[in-house]
Amino acid sequence: MKSVLVIASGLLVATPVAAQQIEVDPDEIIQSVEAWAQDNLDDRGLDELGVDKDRVRGFLAELRQRFHGTYVYDLGALKETAAQILPVLQNFEETRPYAVWLQTHLDYFDVAEELRRAVKFPPEKPPPSPLPGPSPQFQRSVWVGELKTRLPPPPAADCVPRLKQIFADEKLPPQLVWVAEVESSFNPAARSPAGAVGMFQLMPTTARSLKLSLAPEDERLQTGKSARAAAKHLRRLYARFGDWRLAFAAYNAGENRVDSLLKKSKARSFDAIADRLPAETQMYVPKIEATVRQREGVALNELKLPTG
């Protein structure tokens, strides 16, 4: 069990850039994992458990590459490992918030596999290597299919009316409260590997900039305060980029990264830069779109900021 937990902890540290995270140094990721192992299990303990330390480090490096890379298909290969690790995380009180986060993101692996299976080439023509990544348009259609029979998470019935009122008060389309389904399945206990916390997965720096306190009590865990902060943040991102897809890409991958890609590409749309964003972000934005369409029957680009 402990050996699985070591790998699980590695997964949590090496997962994709979370909400509002701008950059993650790959070397810092590996150092963080090694520090955790050193604090919790000595080398002799690892040897006694039959854990190949080099193999674990190689596994972590692979995870880092796939999550932080831009190749969406790579995520599908993590499906089995993620499913094995999830119950381990659920069994430990200190890792349960990470289990909430991972549970919410399991469908990324499913969709990545579906996208890969959909790639077709004529028998007489060998497929290129690597395969070209899926277009944003195709990803949107696959996410629509993935969600078309999915019921809202149970907490939504109680949460959504109050969240919609908060978003409306902050002059944000109330339909966008469903971002909480994508981020945390409406569970305020969720914690991402990169440090995002709460129903709307706010990073510490972003939370502080929005006047949320992290100590002695973390206000990101309070549904009302985190919802108001998320609404303010999304409204500001929309004001900066003038487009909901770009606003949500910035919410997930960091606004500086999105802005830099737009400038380098001389582009003005999410689709024009999607293949250079982290694989998580490439999937996050169409999942947001599909979720809003499924829950509210409206396209993301049809939403406007409330006036008055």
Which residue type is seen at 230?
A
The overall average pLDDT reported for the chain is 83
Number of CB atoms found within 10 A of residue 128's CB: 8
Pick the more confident residue, 22 or 191: 191
- Give the pLDDT confidence score for residue 23 in this predicted structure: 41
Let me know: does 237 contact 179? Beta carbons within 8 Å: no
Burial class (CB in 10 A: 0-12, 13-18, 19+), 63: buried
Q: At what angle do helices 223-241 and 156-169 cross, to 10 degrees?
A: 50
Let me know: does 62 contact 154? Beta carbons within 8 Å: no
In a domain, 202, yes or no: yes
Q: Is the pLDDT of residue 36 over 50?
A: no
Q: Is the pLDDT of residue 31 over 70?
A: no
In a domain, 87, yes or no: yes
> Within 13 Å, how many C-alpha atoms sit on residue 308's CB side?
1
- Give the pLDDT confidence score for residue 162 in this predicted structure: 98
How does residue 90 score in pLDDT terms, banded at 50, 70 and 90? confident
Mean pLDDT of 3-22: 47
- Separation of alpha carbons 158 and 296, rounded Å: 16
Burial class (CB in 10 A: 0-12, 13-18, 19+), 118: exposed
Q: How many domains does the chain have?
A: 1
Structure confidence by residue, pLDDT tens digits, 113-144 = 999 999 886 677 766 667 788 999 999 999 99
Mean pLDDT of 167-195: 95
- Give the pLDDT confidence score for residue 69 in this predicted structure: 81
Which residues form the domain of 1?
1-118+135-300
In a domain, 257, yes or no: yes
Which residue type is seen at 61?
A
In a domain, 240, yes or no: yes
In a domain, 46, yes or no: yes
Q: Is the pLDDT of residue 59 over 60?
A: no
Q: How large a percentage of the chain has pLDDT more than 90?
A: 60
- Separation of alpha carbons 65 and 15, rounded Å: 9
Assessment of whether the complete model's pTM goes beyond 0.75? yes
Pick the more confident residue, 70 or 18: 70
- Separation of alpha carbons 251 and 214, rounded Å: 19
In a domain, 16, yes or no: yes
- Give the pLDDT confidence score for residue 132 in this predicted structure: 82
Q: Is the bond into 132 cis (omega within 30 degrees of 0)?
A: no
Q: Is the pLDDT of residue 296 over 90?
A: yes
Pick the more confident residue, 4 or 178: 178
CA angle 90-85-178, nearest 5°?
65
Q: Is the pLDDT of residue 183 over 90?
A: yes
Structure confidence by residue, pLDDT tens digits, 248-262 = 999 999 999 999 999
Q: Is the pLDDT of residue 60 over 50?
A: no
- Give the pLDDT confidence score for residue 283 in this predicted structure: 95
- Give the pLDDT confidence score for residue 64 in this predicted structure: 59
- Separation of alpha carbons 238 and 247, rounded Å: 5
CATH number, domain of 278, equals 1.10.530.10
Which residues have a Cβ under 8 Å from the Cβ of 256 and sit 6 or more positions away?
Answer: 22
In a domain, 271, yes or no: yes
User: Of 10-19, 94-103, 185-194, where does the model show the most confidence?
Assistant: 185-194
Q: Is the pLDDT of residue 22 over 50?
A: no
- Separation of alpha carbons 204 and 218, rounded Å: 10
- Give the pLDDT confidence score for residue 3 in this predicted structure: 47
Which residues have a Cβ under 8 Å from the Cβ of 166 and sit 6 or more positions away?
Answer: 177, 224, 227, 228, 231
- Give the pLDDT confidence score for residue 26 in this predicted structure: 39
Which residues have a Cβ under 8 Å from the Cβ of 54 and sit 6 or more positions away?
Answer: none
Let me know: does 305 contact 172? Beta carbons within 8 Å: yes
Mean pLDDT of 293-307: 94
Helix (H, G, I), strand (E, B) or coil at 202: strand
Structure confidence by residue, pLDDT tens digits, 197-230 = 999 999 999 999 999 999 999 999 999 999 999 9
CB burial readout 247-257, b (16+ within 10 A) else e: bbbbbbbbbeb
- Separation of alpha carbons 129 and 110, rounded Å: 22
Mean pLDDT of 224-248: 97
* Tokens linked to 75: 């995520």
How does residue 187 score in pLDDT terms, banded at 50, 70 and 90? very high
In a domain, 305, yes or no: no
- Separation of alpha carbons 288 and 70, rounded Å: 19
